[in-house]
Amino acid sequence: MVSIPWAAGIIEGEGCFEISKSDKHCRITVAMTDLDILQRLQLLFGGTIISLKRYEDHHKPCWKWRIGKRPAVTKAIEQMLPWFGERRSYQALNVLDHYEI
């Protein structure tokens, strides 16, 4: 079952909040070898999934899910914020603060 608490756990463990100071652009990303997990995130929040380059033949295929449009990022953070731990909450709130600048 795909749910907001589940997604928050994935972001908590594997996610990244990216903030571009130059253009006020922010993203939420998750990179992993489990494509089905990223597809579930995409079902919940939209966004895109891209294939990442394999640097060695023995490496598993890897993908990255990301959302970067302000309304989608803001909504996702607002939905997951109650489920984040202290460190991720701080990072998520920094994204929201960055939008306010």
State whether residue 68 is helix, strand or coil. coil
* Separation of alpha carbons 47 and 28, rounded Å: 9
Residue 101's pLDDT band (boundaries 50, 70, 90)? Answer: low
- Name the pTM for this structure: 0.88
Q: Per-residue pLDDT averaged across 83-101, rounded? A: 91
Position 101 in a domain: no
Please state the domain count of the chain.
1
Q: State the CATH number of the domain containing residue 83.
A: 3.10.28.10
Position 79 in a domain: yes
Position 30 in a domain: yes
* Separation of alpha carbons 38 and 11, rounded Å: 11
State whether residue 50 is helix, strand or coil. strand
CB atoms within 10 A of CB 92: 23
Position 8 in a domain: yes
Residue 33 DSSP label: S
Domain range for 18 is 4-95
Position 81 in a domain: yes
* Separation of alpha carbons 99 and 19, rounded Å: 10
68-86 residue pLDDT tens: 999 999 999 999 999 999 9
